[in-house]
Amino acid sequence: MTDTPGASGALYVIGGAEDKLKRRTVLRHFVAACGGKQARIAVIPTASSLGPEIIEVYTALFERLGAASTTGVRPESREDANDERFVSRLDDVTGIFMTGGNQLKLSAVINGTAFGDAIREAHRRGVTIGGTSAGASVQSSHMVAFGAGGATPKQRMTQLASGLGLVRDCVIDQHFAQRNRYGRLLMLIAQSPDLLGIGVDEDTAAIITDHEVEVIGRGAVTIIDGREVISNAHAATRTRPLLVSGAQLHVLPAGSKFDLKSRALIPTPWKPDPAEVEELEVAADGLRRLARDIAAEGVSPTNFRRRRARSTSADREDGSP
């Protein structure tokens, strides 16, 4: 659940490697949520090892997608994060975007500072908060600090640190399917069954508003509910594989919705992809032509040619190629 039900801004939890060149579905959706042409977005690249170019990339992207303005705000130390010169720059924004990089650095610099408080306050007053990769993980109350990938949950596979707590009672992981992080999320849920595990694929976003998740993008969001889990996490030693039984798994592609409070899927009507609809229309037209040709079998060549000529003429009149 988000920090203040009913009043908070939307959270964009992006699994990393979001498309920046073609459709830019996730980033386009984020800019629209920030206000579109009135959007004023602060980019926080504290986690990144890149220099000013990371701000330049997102400035160009967001402004190309219609944002009114983008500014970089980069506290590099806890001293910076308590400096009013950094904190005040979040006062009048409509969106905040945290880049990828080292999530432990991001957490260590801003958590428990005036800057971290300013992000939470912005969220409470309705500002849209987004983050990719490290900027996704830090939004949860409990954050993956670091750890190995792999499908099998093992003891000591990863470690937790505290996040900003914009989404409570959960732990978020990113690059989920692409870096095979099922095992480490299962390990965390086996050790802390009260937490909800959320894994977000690349070029995919979990949009969280109050206690509802909506999925957009190319991949899926995986949610692991451990309330009924049976595990030997308390007894397993060193890096041994863990017993994990009874965890409930939800894999949610684009268009799916999930209730974090009830921990249940929200039924949604199926909506076809516009591109698929166009392909089906082309295929249907081809089938109609084929049906006409089949129906013409058995007629004289002269009548068949006349029928084909009438069909071609009609197609030209309605704009068909």
Tell me the DSSP string of 139-202. TEEEEEEEE---SS-BTTSEEEEE---SEEEEEEEESTTTTT-HHHHHHHHHH-TTSEEEEE-T
Residue 152, by phi and psi: left (phi above 0), alpha (psi -120 to 50) or beta? beta
Mean pLDDT for the stretch of residues 39-52:
98
**Least trusted range by pLDDT, from 13-17, 36-40, 50-54, 303-307:** 303-307
d(CA 282, CA 290): 13
pLDDT at 288: 76
pLDDT by residue (tens digit) across 146-179? 999 999 999 999 999 999 999 999 999 999 999 9
Whether residue 317 is predicted with pLDDT greater than 60 in this model: the reply is no
Mean per-residue pLDDT, 122-140: 98
Task: Residue 122: name the closest of 97, 100, 157, 147 by CA.
Answer: 97
Tokens of 39: 């959007």
- Whether the predicted pLDDT of 315 surpasses 70: no
pLDDT over 50 at 5, yes or no: no
What is the average pLDDT across 194-209? 98
Q: Does residue 275 have a pLDDT over 70?
A: no
For 225, half-sphere exposure in the C-beta direction (CA atoms, 13 angstrom radius) is 14
pLDDT band for 270, please (50, 70, 90 cuts): confident
CA distance 62 to 65: 5
pLDDT of residue 4: 47
What's the rounded mean pLDDT across residues 30-36?
Answer: 98
Question: What's residue 283's pLDDT?
Answer: 73
What pLDDT, on the 0 to 100 scale, is given for residue 269? 83
Rounded-to-integer distance, Cα 257 and Cα 265, Å: 6
How many Å apart are CA 237 and CA 242, to the nearest integer? 9
Query: The pTM is what?
Result: 0.84
Catalytic (active-site) positions: 133, 175, 202
Q: Comparing 48-52, 83-87, 295-299, which segment has the lowest mean pLDDT?
A: 295-299
